[in-house]
Amino acid sequence: MKKLVLVMSILIVSTSLAISASAADAPEIFDSADLYITFENGSYEDTKGNYAVTSECGDVPAETKLVDGKFGSAAHFVSSMNYLTVNDLKFDMDSFSIALWAYIDEFSGDPCLFSNQNWDSISNLGFSFAIDGFGDGFRAAGCTKGSKAFSIGTAIDTTCEWMHLVLVMDRETGVATMYVNGEPYRETADISGFTGHFNGAYSFKIGEDGAGDYNTSCTFSAYIDEFIVFKSALTAEDVKAICEYDPTAPDEPEETETDAPDETLPEPKDPPKTSDEPEMRVVLIIGIAATIAVIAALLIFAKKKS
């Protein structure tokens, strides 16, 4: 019974520590990002400073409007109006993860949320993350040189609420996973046989396919916030942590020592005296016991002498 109680206590403490660690690790996960666009301060620049981000439409400058978002500001993307190009973003043979908050206003067809691929065919080099207007959900698909295309999809209502979307491409385990609102969704894709890179034939784009013109054939209006690229495969715990984290929440104030008041504190009083009576009783009992022992020893000795 005691062993069972001990095991249960350890499990409860371990679970509590894991939950606390998950919440505490979220800022560290954000710090590890390779690309991070917050859309704050009227800007869509990469806050990590690794990539130049330009607003375009048809490879010419175009305005991307910043409006109220999930956290602070977000970018509004409209088909045939605008998209963002992240110049020089490559994925090579490494694992990577892409996370964002998205609010789908309206759509028809299967417009891309982000891509470095010509979305006319999933067999074109690169990958895309799109709204699946034909299956009512989201779809991620792509291809490397010499491999068959992978495809994973969801069946979920895509409109009228903010959703946290994550695509994890784990090249070490050979698994591609899509997460919706912090949870892995329905199915994964086997990419273990993919020997090439996912760099794509085009620059990486947000709000359009890699070629920069697929969404022009679709109705598309969406808001994107907190767009992040990691050059690693996020774990399920990582995804859950960043989904539940509010990057705009103020940091908890650090505890500071308070200054002691200037007034002179009174001298401490002597502690109240306790009664010596219990202690005296113990001493008396020990003395009596010792005396009895000595008398008994003397009697035994005298008996032996006689």
Write down the pLDDT at residue 155.
75
Contact 207, 115 (CB under 8 A): no
pLDDT digit string, tens, across residues 5-19? 343 443 343 444 444
- Out of 160-169, 192-201, 278-287, which region has the weakest mean confidence (pLDDT)? 278-287
The overall longest dimension of the chain from CA atoms, in Å, is 127
Write down the pLDDT at residue 285.
52
Look at residue 218 and tell me whether its pLDDT is greater than 60: yes
Does the global pTM surpass 0.85? no
- Rounded CA-CA distance 148/281 in Å is 92
From 116, 172, 177, 110, select the one nearest 144 (Cα to Cα).
Answer: 116
Write down the pLDDT at residue 252.
64
Average pLDDT of the residues in 225-236: 97
Average pLDDT of the residues in 285-298: 59
pLDDT digit string, tens, across residues 149-194? 899 988 777 766 999 999 999 999 999 999 999 999 877 999 998 9
* Residue entry with tokens 């979920």: 156
- Rounded CA-CA distance 209/200 in Å is 11
Q: Are strands 53-57 and 35-37 parallel, antiparallel or unpaired?
A: unpaired
pLDDT digit string, tens, across residues 117-137? 999 999 999 999 999 877 668
- Out of 47-51, 151-155, 277-281, which region has the weakest mean confidence (pLDDT)? 277-281
Mean pLDDT score across all residues of the chain: 82
